[in-house]
Amino acid sequence: MLDLRLSVAPMVDRTDRHFRYLVRQVSLGVRLYTEMTVAEGVVWGKRERLLAFRPEEHPVALQLAGSDPKRLAEAARIGEAFGYDEVNLNLGCPSEKAQQAGYGACLLREPLRVAELVQAMAEAVRVPVTVKLRLGLDGQETYPGLARLVEGLVEAGAKAFIVHARSALLSLSTRANRAIPPLRHEWVHRLKEDFPHLPFVLNGGLRTLEEALAHLDKVDGAMLGRAVYEDPFVLQEADRKVYGLDRRPSRLQVAWRMRAYLEEELQKGTPPWAVLRHMLSLFRGTPGGKRWRRLLSEGRSLQALDQALRLMEEKVGEEGEEEDPHPKGHPLPAHPFAG
Ligand SMILES: Cc1cc2nc3c(=O)[nH]c(=O)nc-3n(C[C@H](O)[C@H](O)[C@H](O)COP(=O)(O)O)c2cc1C
């Protein structure tokens, strides 16, 4: 059984392996997705650079985009060989580039073709093949149309549906496409009512863990995107509240873990900014958070991170923040309600 209860959305230029590693420090349970990766890139490009990830990232899914069944099948096979736990097909990207190449949301116009793509992928791998789709295209979506698409894709081999609960407006920018088309969470609830045996994940507009969890009595999972990038600590309580783990990491603990990670990555030749850029929001909304951000973005080095860490240790000391008595990787204090 796939544990889809909570996941972090695939986001280009955001959910690369460094950000995923950071999120994993905040929650051991949450399901992670890669950035959208074009099948041709996987087949012909620099695989190691595109697909490599650390074992700590599990459970982690590879999101593919494409419009050619053979390429997608080959890319799915390669992804499986790299160790991904799931291969997901993007049916939601509305960008011009995607439209020109014929992948992403524009495929929703061609349900039979999408079924062919899913079938090719599902036949190629043993890990589950899932889809991430929007409700429809250009405001023409209908619930019966969506339900028919789901039926066709299940027959083709799709094992779960992640529904970004709005239409894709192909004439608008990707950014506008995440704000203008109205959200219809109730359509995802209805899909689950109509197909109770199929797994559905609701996505779109969820800002907090509580908001996400509120959907779990109606669907199988909730996926958060922007809220996690803006402040990864929206997931601070995820392990306790969702996965029954006695764990509630502090910002400072995660920052120290990321320092160790950065040191390792520097040895491998990773430029420091590739990691540091994802750490800017680590102290968002806390005292010193703005200075932390400035120190990292101006310094862009391990030394800058050390300076920022010293600052935050002082702040935590001053604030008497109860959460962080042993920041440097000591075990977390036991949760008072732990059994
Ligand atoms: C910067 C950015 C990049 C995105 N890239 C992808 C992507 O690669 N694949 C995808 O399926 N969706 C992508 N999305 C859409 C998100 O996965 C998600 O569906 C959307 O942001 C709505 O969820 P949210 O309101 O929780 O952010 C992207 C969103 C953002 C903000």
Is the pLDDT at 336 greater than 80, yes or no?
A: no
pLDDT of residue 1: 79
Is the pLDDT at 322 greater than 60, yes or no?
A: no
Ligand 1 center to 238 CA (angstroms): 20
Q: What residue owns the CA closest to ligand 1's atom 21?
A: 225
Q: Average pLDDT for residues 166-179, to the nearest whole number?
A: 94
* Helical (H) or strand (E) element with 223: strand 221-224
pLDDT in tens, 239-273: 999 999 999 999 999 999 999 999 999 999 999 99
Question: Binding site residues, as ranges?
Answer: 10-12, 63, 132, 164, 203-205, 225-226
pLDDT band at 182 (very low <50, low <70, confident <90, very high): very high
Q: Average pLDDT for residues 33-41, to the nearest whole number?
A: 98
Please say whether the beta carbons of 21 and 54 come within 8 A.
yes
Residue from 13, 50, 130, 178 to probe ligand 1 pocket by mutation (most atoms less than 8 Å from CB): 178
pLDDT in tens, 100-113: 999 999 999 999 99
pLDDT of residue 327: 44
Ligand 1 center to 119 CA (angstroms): 24
Is the pLDDT at 328 greater than 50, yes or no?
A: no
The atom number, within ligand 1, closest to the CA of 132 reads 11
Query: Which among 265, 283, 264, 282 is positioned nearest to 274, based on CA atoms?
Result: 265
Q: What residue owns the CA closest to ligand 1's atom 30?
A: 11
* Alpha-carbon gap, residue 287 to 139, rounded angstroms: 43
pLDDT of residue 317: 83
Tell how far CA 297 is from the center of its chain: 24
pLDDT in tens, 57-74: 999 999 999 999 999 999
pLDDT of residue 320: 64
Q: What residue owns the CA closest to ligand 1's atom 10?
A: 10
Tokens for 2? 């796939």
Is the pLDDT at 135 greater than 80, yes or no?
A: yes
Q: Average pLDDT for residues 35-56, to the nearest whole number?
A: 98
Q: What residue owns the CA closest to ligand 1's atom 31?
A: 226
List residues near ligand 1 (CB under 6 A): 9-14, 35-36, 63, 90, 92-93, 132, 164, 178, 203-206, 224-227
Convert 28-41 to b/e letters by CB count within 10 Å (16 or more is b). Answer: ebbbbbbbbbbbbb
Is the pLDDT at 210 greater than 50, yes or no?
A: yes
Give strand ranges (E) for 1-139: 6-8, 31-38, 60-65, 86-91, 129-134
Active-site annotation holds for 93: yes
Ligand 1 center to 175 CA (angstroms): 9
Ligand 1 center to 262 CA (angstroms): 26
pLDDT band at 316 (very low <50, low <70, confident <90, very high): confident
pLDDT band at 334 (very low <50, low <70, confident <90, very high): very low
Question: What CA dihedral angle connects 60, 221, 158 and 173, to 10 degrees?
Answer: -80
Comparison of pLDDT for 322 and 164, the residue scoring more? 164
pLDDT band at 318 (very low <50, low <70, confident <90, very high): confident
pLDDT of residue 319: 77
**Choice among 72, 93, 106, 168 that is catalytic:** 93
State the fold for domain 251-319: Four Helix Bundle (Hemerythrin (Met), subunit A) (1.20.120)
Which of 3.90.700.10, 3.30.830.10, 3.40.470.10, 3.20.20.70 is the CATH number of 6-241?
3.20.20.70
pLDDT of residue 134: 98
pLDDT band at 324 (very low <50, low <70, confident <90, very high): very low
| Domain spans, the chain | 6-241, 251-319
pLDDT in tens, 4-33: 999 999 999 999 999 999 999 999 999 999
pLDDT band at 321 (very low <50, low <70, confident <90, very high): low
pLDDT in tens, 51-60: 999 999 999 9
Ligand 1 center to 11 CA (angstroms): 5
* Alpha-carbon gap, residue 59 to 57, rounded angstroms: 6
Question: Binding site residues for FMN, as ranges?
Answer: 10-12, 63, 132, 164, 203-205, 225-226
Tell how far CA 285 is from the center of its chain: 22
Comparison of pLDDT for 119 and 139, the residue scoring more? 119
